[in-house]
């Protein structure tokens, strides 16, 4: 077990009223809430608005935190579960502990585990590499003797200037399941943009390629999400009407869009006995140079 004080650049503090690990290195700053094991802030060097959105009206634990990167595990939504289980599983309301960590030439690397989930048949571990980019690994180990199935997500809430004016590149031609239309399949044409009427999105893109660009002209930046071994992309924003019924969103619905790295819906993961499955995402921030080409890295 490593204590935060043993890792240069890491300390324990309070962020938005939450007990958190605070990371400050020349490459970036970040905060991880111990409730939920949730990254709630990531700001690469050079400043700028936080990459992640955190609700200004957080409910008190044990209500899950709305914002940052909730860890949905061992199932996404209520995939394959009875109706009475908590949405998105147990990890996002667990208290997490730091098990190991180190300063590296590229920033800080932390290992965390949720506590209180010993009754489950599976074990979860998370790696965070916080530097110029934010790399996030979820590792599911099956210590049993029979195969186990999971679904999962890193449910990123990205801060944007106005969700009605952003787009997500990397989904063109994919078939998506529209949860606002009874999960019926539709085909994505071009970049994702919030539909005009009704202005909301709850789309699951199975078998997605794994690289997505969130293009935000209002903040003059592109956020690139690169996913390994997460076959599903989810793009969610509740829109004004649904948000009005959510105390932790309300009128703030324009300030974020969730672009989630997942294995969800039909993309179920089978973890063989004794095996470990890992899903990774890497988040990086770039400037917008033109409307069509690839992003240009902002010099730090
Ligand atoms: O309200 P929560 O349980 O945090 O879920 C928030 C959202 O998460 C995902 O994006 C799901 O696809 C949505 O259907 C759900 O509404």
Query: Whose structure tokens read 């209180």?
Result: 116
C-alpha to C-alpha distance for 281 and 110, rounded to whole angstroms: 15
Ligand 1 binding pocket includes 258 (Cβ within 6 Å): yes
In whole numbers, what is the pLDDT of the chain averaged over residues?
95
Ligand 1 centre and the CA of 264: distance in Å?
Answer: 12
Query: What pLDDT does 46 receive?
Result: 87
H helices present in the chain, as ranges? 239-244
How does residue 281 score in pLDDT terms, banded at 50, 70 and 90?
very high
Task: Measure Cα distances from 40 to 19, 48, 159, 254, 259 in Å.
Answer: 11, 15, 11, 18, 15
Q: Can you tell me which atom of ligand 1 is nearest the CA of 88?
A: 3
92 lines ligand 1 (CB under 6 A): no
Contacts of 115 (CB under 8 A, 6+ apart): 94, 95, 96, 97
Indicate the pLDDT class of residue 1, thresholds 50, 70 and 90: confident
- What pLDDT, on the 0 to 100 scale, is given for residue 47? 80
Burial (CB count <10 Å: 0-12, 13-18, 19+), residue 240:
middle
Residue closest via CA to ligand 1's atom 12 equals 202
Q: Where are the domains of the chain?
A: 4-297
Top mutation candidate among 62, 85, 87, 157 for ligand 1, by most atoms within 8 Å of CB: 87
Q: Is residue 13's pLDDT more than 90?
A: yes
In this structure, whether the domain defined by 4-297 belongs to CATH 2.70.98.10 is answered with: yes
Radius of gyration of the chain (CA): 18
Q: How far, in whole angstroms, is CA 47 from its chain's centroid?
A: 21
Q: How confident is the model at residue 116 (pLDDT cuts 50, 70, 90)?
A: very high
Q: Which two tokens stand for residue 243?
A: 């948000």
> For 222-268, what is each residue's pLDDT tens digit?
999 999 999 999 999 999 999 999 999 999 999 999 999 999 999 99
Determine if the pTM surpasses 0.90. yes
Percentage of residues in the chain having pLDDT higher than 70? 96
277 catalytic per annotation:
no
Q: What are the tens digits of pLDDT across the range 172-212?
A: 999 999 999 999 999 999 999 999 999 999 999 999 999 99
Residue of 120, 131, 134 lying closest to 52 (CA atoms): 134
Of all protein residues, whose CA lies closest to atom 7 belonging to ligand 1? 236
**Confidence (pLDDT) at 290:** 55
């Amino acid at each position: 077990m490593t204590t935060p004080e043993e890792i240069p650049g890491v300390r324990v503090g309070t962020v938005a009223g939450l007990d958190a690990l605070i990371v400050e290195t020349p490459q970036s700053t970040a905060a991880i809430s111990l409730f939920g094991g949730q990254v709630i802030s990531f700001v690469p060097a050079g400043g700028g608005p936080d990459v992640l959105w955190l609700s200004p009206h957080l409910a008190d634990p044990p209500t899950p935190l709305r914002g940052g990167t909730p860890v949905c595990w061992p199932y996404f939504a209520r995939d394959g579960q009875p109706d009475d289980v908590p949405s998105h599983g147990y990890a996002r309301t667990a208290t997490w502990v730091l098990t190991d960590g180190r300063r590296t030439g590229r920033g800080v690397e932390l290992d965390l585990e949720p506590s209180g989930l010993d009754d489950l048949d599976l074990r979860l571990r998370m790696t965070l590499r916080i530097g110029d980019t934010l790399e996030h690994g979820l590792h599911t180990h099956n210590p049993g003797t029979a195969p186990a199935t999971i679904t999962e997500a890193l449910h990123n809430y990205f801060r944007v200037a106005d969700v009605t004016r952003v787009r997500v590149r990397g989904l063109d031609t994919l078939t998506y399941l529209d949860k606002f239309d009874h999960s019926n399949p539709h085909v994505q044409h071009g970049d994702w943009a919030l539909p005009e009427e009704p202005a909301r999105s709850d789309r699951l893109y199975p078998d997605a390629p794994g690289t997505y660009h969130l293009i935000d002209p209002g903040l003059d930046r592109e956020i690139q999400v690169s996913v390994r071994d997460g076959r599903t992309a989810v793009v969610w924003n509740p829109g004004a009407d649904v948000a009005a019924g959510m105390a932790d969103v309300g009128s703030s619905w324009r300030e974020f869009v969730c672009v989630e790295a997942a294995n969800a819906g039909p993309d179920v993961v089978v973890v063989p006995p004794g095996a470990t499955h890992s899903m990774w995402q890497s988040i990086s921030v770039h400037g917008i140079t033109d409307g069509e080409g690839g992003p240009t890295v902002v010099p730090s």
